[in-house]
Amino acid sequence: MTDSPHLLFGSNLVAAVTPMRPDGTLDDPALTDLVDHLLATGCDGVVVAGTTGESPTLTGAETTRLIRAAVDQVAGRAKVIAGVGTNDTASSVRRAREAEAAGADALLLVCPYYSRPTQAGVLAHCTAVADATALPVMLYDVPARTGLAFAEATLVELAEHPRIRAVKDAKGDLFEAMSVMARTSLAYYCGIDELNLPYLASGATGVVSVVGNIAADRNAELIRAVRHGDLDAARAVQTSLIPLVDAVMRTSSGAIMAKAALVELGIIPHATVRLPLLESPPSDLRRLTDALATTAVPA
């Protein structure tokens, strides 16, 4: 596989929410509107059924339905990356194959959670999923959610697999990220909106952004400025996003707040989330509304 990471995954990726009706069922027309909004604002990679898409509460059938709907609406204008990771290797392999059959361009594979396997178990799990399809794989390192991080040595070993091509880093260890980038060909994508600029400046290929649901155009500006070596412009973009990043990422939950913001902007009709998540309390909504008012975002 010789394609560059940008061609495999994109660079301005959005961790898309999963629109739902008030009764908690999937809202297909709202998903269509969301995808159109993301593409119109500069997103070149749509991540479906990830953490922000409430993957722990989605059934396998719902996940496949989301992937198919996103693939149909994207229609080749961006990459569709499907979250397939679970804490069960057999289930993850099955979801990977279902995602491939549904037309996904790539897979997002989280470190197996709850079971807390050894690093040898993590290696075996990821290898089994990567062996299951012909799709490129982006590992997802988010120990705050999984209870277990990919060790640097594990990432280096997994980089030898021909289909494991990238890492979504939500661990926040920038030095380790730089070290792995120096030792392997893995492309890094920042998975922490607060740190997009330092990751990009340190060599990351792109971002997988929750705030991108609302402001993918700003992320595109940020990526472009860093690529052109204009750090003053990049800092200005990042600074302009601070109120919005703070409101979305540092209140209840990114999935909750991104949906609330999309409703405020008229992109989707409902902010419904599934338990155990709850919709935004009034104090968080006020913070979000203030941030949207000070950060010009496209409606």
CA–CA distance, 13 with 179 (Å, rounded to integer): 23
Q: What tokens appear for 123 in the block?
A: 């290696």
Q: What tokens appear for 79 in the block?
A: 């990459």
- 86, amino acid identity: T
Chain CA centroid to CA 74, Å: 16
82, containing H or E segment: strand 79-83
Give the position of tokens 């338990």.
275
User: Is 259 part of the annotated catalytic residue set?
Assistant: no
CA–CA distance, 179 with 176 (Å, rounded to integer): 5
CA–CA distance, 237 with 254 (Å, rounded to integer): 20
CA–CA distance, 141 with 247 (Å, rounded to integer): 23
Q: Catalytic residue, from 168, 188, 189, 259: name it.
A: 168
Give the position of tokens 């027309």.
29
- Beta strands 187-190 and 164-169: pairing type? parallel
Residue 138 backbone phi and psi in degrees, to 5: -110, 120
Cβ-Cβ contacts under 8 Å for 171 (sequence gap 6 or more): 141, 142, 143, 149, 150, 177
Q: Catalytic residue, from 79, 113, 140, 259: name it.
A: 140
User: Is 140 part of the annotated catalytic residue set?
Assistant: yes
CA–CA distance, 19 with 266 (Å, rounded to integer): 13
| Residues annotated catalytic, as ranges | 140, 168
